Structure 1
Amino acid sequence: MKQLTDTEIRVNGIAALIASLGEVQAERFISLILREPFDYTQWQKKLWEDTSLEDLSRMAMDSRRETKKTQAK
């Protein structure tokens, strides 16, 4: 995988947010992140703490299958 520049990461991140949330909600998300003290690392540690490894694996495989279906269309 190619190493991305900081600018490319920002552009790709914004594009992903807009694709997922739409323009208005993506802007809202960004303003929420900027407004509140937010530690992404701590959030990630707590995000899946009540989910088993098997469940996480199943969710990842389901997501990958869905992505492949969508890309094939």
Structure 2
Amino acid sequence: MKTDTEIRLDGTRALIEALGEVDAERYIAILMREPFDYTRWQRTLLLAASVEEVSAAAMKAREGAHGE
């Protein structure tokens, strides 16, 4: 099991890799500035997508996680 510090570092690295340093900082600032309920956001996101879209996104994420 990873420590909280390891998870924070991995998350920061992932944000920087995906967004670049400047936009990663902006993303963190947005989260800190605005109230954000991740669970509610996920539910809204999933409700807006079709079953096929959710399935395709899950398969794509799975492939990426396994390096396929």
The yes-or-no answer on 1:21 pairing with 2:27 is no
TM-score w.r.t. the length of structure 2 is 0.81
Q: What is the number of equivalent residue pairs in this alignment?
A: 67
TM-score w.r.t. the length of structure 1 is 0.77
Q: Per-residue displacement from partner, 1:5-52 (whole Å, max 9, x unpaired)?
A: 000010000000000000000000000000011111111111110222
Q: Quick one: which of 4, 8, 11 aligns to 1:10? A: 8
Which has the higher Rg, Structure 1 or Structure 2?
1
Matched with 1:53 is 51
Structure 1 residue runs without a partner (length 5+):
none
Distance in 1 of aligned mates of 2:57 and 2:39: 21
Aligned AA for 1:41?
T
Structure 2 residue runs without a partner (length 5+):
none
User: Which one has a larger percent helix, Structure 1 or Structure 2?
Assistant: 2
